[in-house]
Structure 1
Amino acid sequence: MDASAAYFGAGGNRTPTVEDIAAHYRERNMAAVIFTVDAATALGHPALSSEEIAEAAAEHPDVLVPFGSVDPHGGAEAVARARRLVTGHGVRGFKFHPSLQGFAPGDPEYYPLYEALQELGVPALFHTGQTGIGAGLPGGRGIKLRYSDPMLIDDVAADFPGLTIVLAHPSVPWQDEAISIATHKANVYIDLSGWSPKYFPPQLVRAASRQLRHKVLFGSDFPLITPDRWLADFDGLDIAPEARPLILKENAVRVLGL
């Protein structure tokens, strides 16, 4: 957490509860997708409980949309747990962090999991590009960036055309690849979380304003980047006026089935 906070220049409460998050967004008349990342195999310690997060989020349905996370290395049990999270706990999508979880997302070993998500009709959100987790630590804490190359997700998008996929974050240093995939695959979107908009690559700003205006989604990365900070910096971007409501709300309404 200290390394991530230094990377993002973040302050304030870095470990908010679900109730804290709900209150923060309700005060702003906004909604948030919340989740943990289950990287138990790669990190060697158990994750926060997606079940508990979903149950807590259910107390705040006006502002919170729960996503689940399963360890991709879990095989058949990961698939079964994903199904239980959707049918029994109201999870609306799944978060993957290939670098943190230590897996190559395009490996067919993980295809039964994607098949289940496609069948369940919930989106898959994949971290892409650089990560603040482990940043500046020796060996980056063992986290390998190459697993978060969005081109590794292109196979998944091609082989599961009914699975909605969101490439999380500006995918630096693979931004052009992410734009190409989102342009080519109707089922692939890009979210804009994890970076202050003032640091967005210029080609991402152009695409968000033009050919991908229906394919990009607002996101902050709370608590490391707050929505207030993100929106203030977004106001300074050269984004077409007609694209702004799509990016800030309408695209997410469609992707999340709200």
Structure 2
Amino acid sequence: MMIIDAWAQHPTLRHIQDPIFESLWRWTRSAPPSQPVPVAATLAAMDAAAVDVSLISAWVAPRNVMISNDEVAEFVAASNGRLVGVGSVDISRPMQALREVRRCINELGFKAIRVLPWLWEVPPTDRRFYPVYTACADLGVPFCTQIGHTGPLMPSEVGRPIYLDQVALDFPELRIVGGHIGYPWTEEAIAVATKHENVFIDTSAYSVTRYPPALVDFLKAHGRHKVLFGTNYPMMTPAKALQGLDTLALDDEVKAAFLGGNAQRVFGLTPAA
């Protein structure tokens, strides 16, 4: 049974030591690394939970590139096929962003683009996102984003899942993956994913034991093709994210779709990825 992590990062020190994540490190009762993290360490964390593939993302914030697209490409190249790239762009420069989306997909071989509303402090209906949506829809790759409250001490309102309703109406061809389950608006996320064929939810940043009951019910029923497993590594290891999976009592078909099949389909990954 293939396991694909739909949301991970292989961090740079610029990313993992950024002060914006101080609240997350307090929660985990640990400290960020002081030395660069080797790709081998990320692969070892995946091996510890039998994760086959992780989608690792660049991080582009206003006036701050925490993980560049080219760095992600280097990490992917060093992973022997275990890591898959997800690009990010500066939405304040629309034409540059559009060209960079195309470069990420056509030249770097990435499988998706991710932009986080809370980093930019605007909702995903903001006009600056629309060139990115257009490029992703045209290239046939998913747009990934964060839904729900923010761990970093930034406003959460821009993460309301309902904003994706308008995006999906404007771009019905665009596959949209909302990460971090949308809590405390998980039922809102489920409603949007149910309404729109191309809207999906990933479980990153939450361990199995913290999934809201509504999400578990959705996963077992009409949402069995809508929910993707994710970790938010390195803030949560795959082993921690999967701990207690058997308590969900998923049947084999649902488990296979949740752990890997849905991500494989949504991101267009080949079985050998």
Report deviation, 1:89: 1.0
Change in 2 beyond 3 A, CA 1:54/1:130:
same
Which of these residues, 78, 82, 89, is aligned with residue 108 of structure 2? 89
Q: TM-score, normalised by structure 1?
A: 0.88
User: Between the two proteins, what is the percent identity of the paired residues?
Assistant: 34
Gaps of 5+ in 2: 1-20
Return 9-18 or 102-111, whichever deviates more.
9-18
User: Take 2:211 and 2:219, find their aligned partners in 1: how far apart are those partners?
Assistant: 11
Report deviation, 1:66: 0.6
Task: Tell me which amino acid in the other structure corresponds to 2:58.
Answer: T
Change in 2 beyond 3 A, CA 1:163/1:171:
same
Change in 2 beyond 3 A, CA 1:206/1:119:
same
Give RMSD over aligned pairs: 2.0
Change in 2 beyond 3 A, CA 1:156/1:51:
same
Aligned to 2:22: 2
Q: 1:72-151 alignment to 2 at 5 Å?
A: 72-133=91-152, 140=153, 143-151=154-162
Which of these residues, 39, 56, 66, is aligned with residue 34 of structure 1? 56
Change in 2 beyond 3 A, CA 1:7/1:36:
farther
Report deviation, 1:241: 4.0
Report deviation, 1:12: 8.0
Report deviation, 1:236: 1.9
1:98–1:127 Cα contact (<8 Å) kept: yes
Change in 2 beyond 3 A, CA 1:181/1:73:
same
Task: Tell me which amino acid in the other structure corresponds to 2:25.
Answer: A
User: Take 1:130 and 1:62, find their aligned partners in 2: how far apart are those partners?
Assistant: 32
Aligned to 2:88: 69
Which of these residues, 207, 211, 234, is aligned with residue 223 of structure 1? 234
More helix per residue? 1
Gaps of 5+ in 1: 134-139
Task: Tell me which amino acid in the other structure corresponds to 2:22.
Answer: D
Task: Tell me which amino acid in the other structure corresponds to 2:89.
Answer: V
Change in 2 beyond 3 A, CA 1:2/1:46:
same
2:193–2:201 Cα contact (<8 Å) kept: yes
1:13–1:223 Cα contact (<8 Å) kept: no
More strand per residue? 2
Aligned to 1:183: 194
Aligned to 2:257: 246
